[in-house]
Amino acid sequence: MKRKSVKRVAAVLLAAGTLFLTSCGTADEENLNLIASKEEEERIVNLFSPMEKTDPDVENVARSATDLTVMMAEERLGIKVAYRTYTAEDYQDSTYDDVALDRARNNMDDIYLLNPDVIMQLAKEGELKDLSGLDSAKNLREVVKTANVVDGKLVAIPQEVVAYGLFINKDMFDKYQLELPETPEEFLECCRVFQENGIETPVGANRWWLETFVLAQAYADLYNGGNTEAEIAELNSGKRKYSDYMRPGFEFLQELIDKGYVDAKKAYVSEAIDGEGPDFLAQKTPIVMAYWGAANTETSYGAPDFNMLVIGFPSSRGQMPVMPMTGFAVGANAEHEEDAMKMLDIVVSDEALQVYTETNKVISPSKNVKVDCIPALKPLNDRIEEGVFVLGSNANMKVEQWGNTCLIVRELLNGATVDECMEMFDKLQEESLKG
């Protein structure tokens, strides 16, 4: 009786097992060609952008945000976006801007992410397409248009309004009971106190971004004095000299260098963030300068062990954000021009910018997209919201500002005097007047 029931159970189990195993097998399909049908030929759009360095085990948020919008475009258009990148290995290497210029001139790619000076340069050479016909261009803030319209053509559209500011270790300022500096004088005083307390180089710098100090002091009045257009017209006509605007900022930088607040030699050979970032994060340096997005990115300054604040640069009008306009541009002779235009229209659409802005917590170029910023960025954001800022680049100025100022500051770092630097500006202005 007992054995019978055991046998019965065993039989049921065997049957169930057989059934299970049979069901695991796949039925033969009537298909003579075993290769899966090949997809249609891919439509490619080549995107050239700086290479964001990746760190082990850290997600690259900045890149992820762009990726999200690119994927949106790929999905909508059925295209494949190929990333082409370049980053200089060191200061002796060709810069990203140099390579971007070469690639654009040789039509190597379809879409380029460009710095303001390169945008200006290529636009003048006629290498960039007019984007004003795109639907997404209608949503842009005025300030973005101002910066990117060259000869009546909208040549670039950014995904974020890049704002530069001073990244402050608030804990260290509190330790020495220092107020956050508003003016150049106050800034120098802070540096003095830090130095007296054993911090030999209070300001961490690289070869790219020291120009923000200069631009903030140079154009604080121009952009916030209510007479912007007239002043720019006078500069373009030669009635006013760029060097007159630039001199205080350069002298200020010279003083920083002379007093050892900035290590000029180190800055001259340092790449952005790579050079000064580690010391700032290790709380050896209380002040560095960087762009807005660095505060949101873990690979930059997104996760400091201290209370960090981002403020504007010192100027006669108080803390001053500096906003150069980077942007995506489409090559005039792009191989995949049509797809590139469509793709750009999507990645800078309100919908894509909403995703981008929320992911990166940045200022959107679209007047329709607004996202709360992280607490550290609040002081900088407050100034921008008040409408107080300096443009790092302006297409209306005949002398390109962002790239030229950067190069001339580099000369100062390399030992040129302030007067020599001012001469360089005068020379540039002269050339522009000739053109």
Contact window for another protein (CB under 8 A) among 102-110, 113-121, 220-228, 310-318? 102-110
Contact window for another protein (CB under 8 A) among 14-22, 247-255, 333-341, 379-387? 14-22
Is residue 67 involved in binding another protein (CB under 8 A)? yes
**247-262 as b/e: b if 16+ CB within 10 A:** bbbbbbbbebbeeebb
Is residue 22 involved in binding another protein (CB under 8 A)? no
- Residue with structure tokens 């942007």? 327
Q: Which residues have C-beta within 8 Å of that of residue 233, sequence separation ≥ 6?
A: none
Q: β-pairing, 390-391 with 203-204?
A: unpaired
Is residue 239 involved in binding another protein (CB under 8 A)? no
Q: Report the length, in residues, of the chain.
A: 435
Please name the helix (run of DSSP H) or strand (run of DSSP E) that holds residue 322, with its range, or none.
strand 322-323
Q: Which of 89, 142, 179, 196 lies at the binding interface for another protein (CB under 8 A)?
A: 89
Contact window for another protein (CB under 8 A) among 20-28, 253-261, 275-283, 344-352? 20-28
Report the DSSP beta bridge partners of residue 288.
Answer: 167, 204
Q: Which of 43, 77, 91, 108 lies at the binding interface for another protein (CB under 8 A)?
A: 108
Q: CB of residue 354 vs another protein: minimum separation in angstroms?
A: 21
The crossing angle, in degrees rounded to 10, of helices 418-434 and 402-413 is 150
Q: Which of 75, 102, 125, 234 lies at the binding interface for another protein (CB under 8 A)?
A: 102
Closest CA to 330 of 114, 76, 72: 114
Q: CB of residue 356 vs another protein: minimum separation in angstroms?
A: 14
Contact window for another protein (CB under 8 A) among 60-68, 320-328, 338-346, 402-410? 60-68
Closest CA to 367 of 381, 386, 348, 388: 348
Is residue 27 involved in binding another protein (CB under 8 A)? no
CA 209/CA 399 separation, integer angstroms: 19
Contact positions vs another protein (CB under 8 A): 2, 5-6, 9-10, 13, 17, 20-21, 24, 44, 51-57, 60, 63-64, 67, 80, 82-83, 85-87, 89, 94, 98-103, 106, 108
